[in-house]
Amino acid sequence: MKQLIALVVALAALPLAAQEATQSAASAASTNTVSNTAATAKIVATINGEQITQEKLDGLYARLGTQMREQYDKNGGKQAFLENYLRKRLLVQEALKKGFDKRPDVQADMEAAKEATLFDRYVRDVVASSIVSDADIRKYYDEHPSDFARPESAKVRHIVVLANGAGPKPKSEESALEILKGVYTQLHAASAAASANGADEATQQRLLVARFSDAARQYSEDGVAEKGGDLGWNDRGAFDPEFEQAAFALTKGHMSGIVKTRFGYHLILLEDKRPAGTEPFEIAQPKIREMLMAQRAADVVESVTRLTNELRASSRISVYPENIN
């Protein structure tokens, strides 16, 4: 049940319904038609004939809220986002197929969402631009470097076999170690064979990730086994000390030997690593804007009120209270 709730929350957070539902009929009619541009675009997925391009995926990912994007960055990145997007798109397609978007109440909600989006974006990008300017954002970034310090981080997978009678299939330490030795031997032999057959390094790494993921699903004994042992991105300091020392000592695309921790015996695969540094301004900018807007919310409200008063004074408005029930 918790997993189902988490999935629903993740799907609901995607920037799809409000922005795209207003285009439902037109989108449904055009999704199977590939333009000259789309024909040359990189396709990341197809769903019932509808093509999702890399450009569209990048755009959707960029429009995520700051906190949601950070969560995805640490837990599967665009691949995980795409999986949730496809699930949401399936429901949207089903709704369109059944004419759900033609219901008056649904159309009213879509129109309200469209209006709310236009209002919010205009206030943020136009009305409040003099209150929180690009120069203000840059100034904050330059004056608070510690806020954007980024620790060394690693994207890892692991296979863990629990020992000391723990786990779904209780076993001794000796049995747990023997199981993992067998898995290591299989994976190491497969990698050696790929190298002997002339596969380049990138191909060897892709094959290792695929085989490691399959082995994790078969042998690993923790909650991420079904995800191929994917632990996502984690900063230094997030792991058990023995695990962390082994993981951060690896080079990208390589697998560790057997590592013992208080949880059991592990094999670790380092998919990628990011050095410690400073978060780029382009990534920090939306977060800074949100923070400064919140700090200056009273000024934003005052500007909105002043502008609407001016617009009301120069507009022709009639109100008929006798018709309000």
Neighbours of 243 (CB within 10 A): 22
Domain assignment of residue 2, yes or no: yes
Domain boundary among 255, 275, 295: 275
Domain assignment of residue 87, yes or no: yes
pLDDT of 279 above 70: yes
pLDDT score, position 11 = 46
Same domain, 95 and 171: no
pLDDT score, position 31 = 42
Q: 56, exposed or middle or buried, with CB in 10 Å at 0-12, 13-18, 19+?
A: middle
CB 15 within 8 A of CB 60: yes
Same domain, 263 and 157: yes
Same domain, 269 and 169: yes
How far apart CA 158 and CA 127 sit, in angstroms, is: 50
How far apart CA 198 and CA 193 sit, in angstroms, is: 9
pLDDT score, position 22 = 36
Same domain, 99 and 165: no
For residue 12, give its domain range: 1-103
- Greater confidence (152 vs 67) lies with 152
Same domain, 265 and 208: yes
Domain assignment of residue 246, yes or no: yes
- Tens digit of pLDDT for each residue in 311-320? 999 999 999 9
Close Cβ partners of 297 (under 8 Å, ≥ 6 residues apart): none
pTM of the model: 0.58
Domain boundary among 103, 133, 168: 103
Mean pLDDT score of the chain, rounded to an integer?
A: 86
Q: Give the total number of structural domains in the chain.
A: 2
In CATH, what number is assigned to the domain containing residue 158? 3.10.50.40
pLDDT of 283 above 70: yes
How far apart CA 201 and CA 82 sit, in angstroms, is: 27
Q: Where are the beta strands (DSSP E) in 116-246?
A: 149-150, 153-162, 230-235
Tokens for 105? 């109440």
How far apart CA 44 and CA 27 sit, in angstroms, is: 18
Compute the residue count for the chain: 325
pLDDT score, position 167 = 67
pLDDT score, position 21 = 37
Backbone angles phi, psi at 47, to 5 degrees: -140, 105
CA torsion through residues 201, 206, 211, 215, sign: positive
Residue 210 vs residues 161, 194, 228: alpha-carbon distances, Å: 19, 13, 8
- Looking at residue 35, the DSSP 8-state letter turns out to be P
Close Cβ partners of 173 (under 8 Å, ≥ 6 residues apart): 163, 164
Same domain, 252 and 167: yes
pLDDT score, position 29 = 39
Domain assignment of residue 143, yes or no: no
Domain assignment of residue 320, yes or no: no
Domain assignment of residue 108, yes or no: no
pLDDT score, position 144 = 96
Domain assignment of residue 110, yes or no: no
What is the arithmetic mean of pLDDT over 10-38? 42
Closest CA to 229 of 245, 217, 242: 217
Neighbours of 325 (CB within 10 A): 2
Longest Cα–Cα distance of the chain, Å, equals 86
What is the arithmetic mean of pLDDT over 275-293? 91
- Tens digit of pLDDT for each residue in 156-202? 999 999 987 766 778 888 999 999 999 999 999 998 888 888 888 88
pLDDT of 24 above 60: no
Domain boundary among 232, 259, 275: 275
Phi-psi region of 33 (alpha: psi -120 to 50; beta: other; left: phi over 0): beta
- Tens digit of pLDDT for each residue in 57-66? 988 988 888 7
Tokens for 159? 């296979």
pLDDT score, position 40 = 62
- Tens digit of pLDDT for each residue in 211-257? 999 999 999 999 899 999 999 889 999 899 999 999 999 999 999 99
Domain assignment of residue 325, yes or no: no
pLDDT score, position 20 = 42
